[in-house]
């Protein structure tokens, strides 16, 4: 339904969310699990929950997302899902032969209180888990947190189950990439490789959800971090977590469990955040930044210089995940654009204070809400119009109703293709973002220009 009947007058709503800027925990957990090589995510709940989570990821990535389910019926809902999960573990290892089953819970199994570790021990005692295979789990009730929380919890579970410390350090660092696209994970690894840094990235959905079309279906593609690599994370020199909410819990758990020092950075979106990421790699390993990376940085700076006159003073409204919004807000402010309406569906007062810190020099009042919804964002826009929208597919309704250009960013993107192949992180990702922003601004300028101002050269 289009939103043109959204009222301009804002009233306080404490018990009603309209058009939420989030989705549920199990989706994030399922996405993270797909970043383990040979892993089959398993939804411990009803078939409908698993179908929705698979569908959401499939529509976003345009790739078939495989996952199993405990298929709760009325009996399991009353008496518990132990029998269902034990049978499911047996069936999955027998038929599909994954390396890992990553179990995440749903509202139903959480409400009845199923004890997943106890059920896993029962399956192991019954001989349902083959030698050398693994079952890991995470609790992800949909009525708490968001898809970002689910991603963070499953990533932390990888540390809890697999990370080991032998006491002998390995010349490598761990990178927890945050809830980003497979293309972004590839770009982060490419930057590290150009600097000569050996990394273990977890999770890693590159070559899983952006794999090439070969004409042959593979249930378990070549991508994903291996269990063997995960076990070595406890011997790494350091851990870099990208995005405090999505990556912080895993990085800190690794520090606590194996005494691997961690540093939590913003997602490397834009000029300053990428500088901090590259500099952290440099300092951690005592290496120099190669010319190829400096050249990419210089190209990004050149594009900013060339385009700055079109960016200057433009007002922007954003919705999405906290880690993305913090990095994107800093990037926009650095090119003299002004994010003035910012909404995330994930709770966090620290998010609000961080956004206000980044935008403290703004000439406009800043509206920021965590958690907020897109209905509120739409009302803010009605009261203070903007030049550009940035967010997921659901923002297209606001874009249409208010006639504002939209740049798709975040999760989910259901009506466009390419985000899983083209990064927005790093210097090269920054160049792509700038191109998309400038195209949107100049397309609107051309559309609205009178005949005498319809220029061939800008």
Domain residue ranges of the chain, discontinuous segments joined by + = 25-162, 170-210+219-289, 293-451
Residue 114 exposed, middle or buried by CB count within 10 Å (0-12, 13-18, 19+): buried
d(CA 425, CA 177): 10
* pLDDT tens-digit series, residues 198-217: 999 999 999 999 999 989 88
CATH code of domain 293-451: 3.40.50.1980
∠ CA 116-227-235 to the nearest 5 degrees?
A: 110
Summarize pLDDT for 144-164 with one digit per residue, the tens.
Answer: 999 999 999 999 999 999 999
In this prediction, residue 457 has a pLDDT band, given cuts at 50, 70 and 90, of: confident
2, pLDDT greater than 80 = no
Degrees to nearest 5, angle at CA 235 with 191 and 41: 75
Q: What is the pTM of this model?
A: 0.95
Whether 1 shows a pLDDT value over 60: the answer reads: no
- Please report where in the chains the tokens 């090119």 appear, as a residue: 335
- Torsion, Cα 350 351 352 357, to 10 degrees, reads 90
Q: Identical fold at 25-162 and 170-210+219-289?
A: yes
Task: Examine the pLDDT at 12 and tell me if it is beyond 80.
Answer: yes
- Residues 386-442: tens digit of each pLDDT: 999 999 999 999 999 999 999 999 999 999 999 999 999 999 999 999 999 999 999
Residue 318 and residue 339 in contact, taking contact as beta carbons nearer than 8 Å: yes
Mean pLDDT of 224-228: 97
Other CB atoms within 10 Å distance of the CB of residue 385: 14
Residues above pLDDT 90, as percent of the chain: 88
What is the fold, at CATH topology level, of the domain defined by 170-210+219-289? Rossmann fold (3.40.50)
pLDDT for the residue numbered 210: 94
Enumerate helices (H) and strands (E) in the chain, giving the number of each: 17, 13
Q: What is the pLDDT of residue 305?
A: 96
| Residue 458 pLDDT greater than 80, yes or no | no
CATH domain 25-162 topology: Rossmann fold (3.40.50)
Q: What are the DSSP calls for 34-65, one per residue?
A: TTBTTEEEEEES-HHHHHHHHHHHHHHHTSPP
pLDDT digits (tens, 9 = 90+) for 333-382: 999 999 999 999 998 889 999 999 999 999 999 999 999 999 999 999 99
Average the pLDDT over each of 75-84, 120-129, 169-178, 251-260 and give the range with the smallest value: 75-84
Round to whole Å and give the CA distance between 109 and 119.
12
pLDDT digits (tens, 9 = 90+) for 238-283: 999 999 999 999 999 999 999 999 999 999 999 999 999 999 999 9
Which tokens hold the place of 140? Answer: 């992800």
């Amino acid at each position: 339904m289009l939103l043109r009947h959204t009222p301009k007058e804002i009233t306080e709503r404490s018990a009603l969310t309209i058009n939420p800027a989030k989705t549920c925990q199990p989706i994030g957990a399922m996405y993270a699990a797909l970043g383990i090589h040979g892993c089959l995510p398993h939804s411990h709940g009803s078939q409908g929950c698993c179908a929705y989570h698979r569908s959401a990821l499939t529509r976003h990535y345009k790739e078939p997302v495989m996952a199993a389910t405990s298929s709760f019926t009325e009996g399991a809902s009353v008496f518990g899902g132990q029998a269902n999960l034990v049978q499911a573990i047996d069936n999955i290892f027998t038929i599909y032969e994954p390396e890992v089953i990553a179990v995440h819970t749903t509202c139903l199994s959480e409400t009845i209180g199923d004890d997943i570790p106890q059920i896993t021990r029962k399956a192991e005692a019954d001989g349902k888990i083959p030698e050398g295979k693994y079952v890991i789990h995470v609790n992800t009730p949909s009525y708490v947190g968001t898809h970002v929380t689910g991603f963070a919890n499953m990533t932390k579970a990888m540390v809890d189950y697999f990370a080991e410390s032998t006491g002998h350090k390995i010349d490598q660092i761990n990178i927890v990439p945050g809830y980003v696209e497979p293309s972004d994970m590839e770009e982060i690894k490419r930057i590290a490789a150009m600097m000569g840094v050996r990394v273990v990235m977890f999770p890693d959905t590159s070559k899983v959800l952006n794999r090439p079309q070969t004409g042959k279906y593979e249930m378990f593609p070549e991508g994903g971090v291996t269990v063997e690599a995960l076990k070595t994370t406890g011997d790494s020199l350091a851990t870099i977590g990208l995005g405090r909410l999505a990556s912080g819990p895993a990085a800190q758990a690794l520090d606590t469990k194996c005494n691997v020092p961690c540093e939590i950075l913003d997602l490397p979106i834009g000029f300053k955040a990428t500088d901090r990421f590259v500099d952290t790699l440099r300092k951690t390993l005592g290496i120099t930044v190669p010319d190829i990376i400096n050249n990419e940085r210089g190209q990004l700076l050149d594009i900013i210089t060339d385009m700055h006159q079109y960016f200057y003073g433009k007002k922007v409204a954003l919705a999405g995940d906290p880690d993305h919004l913090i990095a994107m807000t800093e990037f926009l402010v650095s090119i003299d654009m002004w994010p003035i309406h910012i909404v995330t569906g994930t709770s966090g007062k620290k998010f609000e204070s961080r956004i206000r810190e980044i935008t403290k020099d703004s000439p406009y009042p800043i509206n920021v809400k965590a958690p907020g919804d897109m209905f509120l964002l739409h009302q803010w826009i009605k009261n203070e119009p903007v030049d550009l929208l940035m967010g997921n597919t659901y923002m297209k309704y606001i874009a249409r109703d208010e006639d504002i250009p939209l740049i798709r960013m975040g999760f989910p993107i259901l009506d466009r293709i390419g985000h899983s192949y083209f990064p927005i992180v790093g210097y090269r990702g920054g160049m792509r973002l700038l191109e998309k922003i400038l195209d949107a601004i100049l397309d609107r300028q051309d559309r609205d220009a009178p005949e005498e101002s319809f220029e061939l050269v800008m």
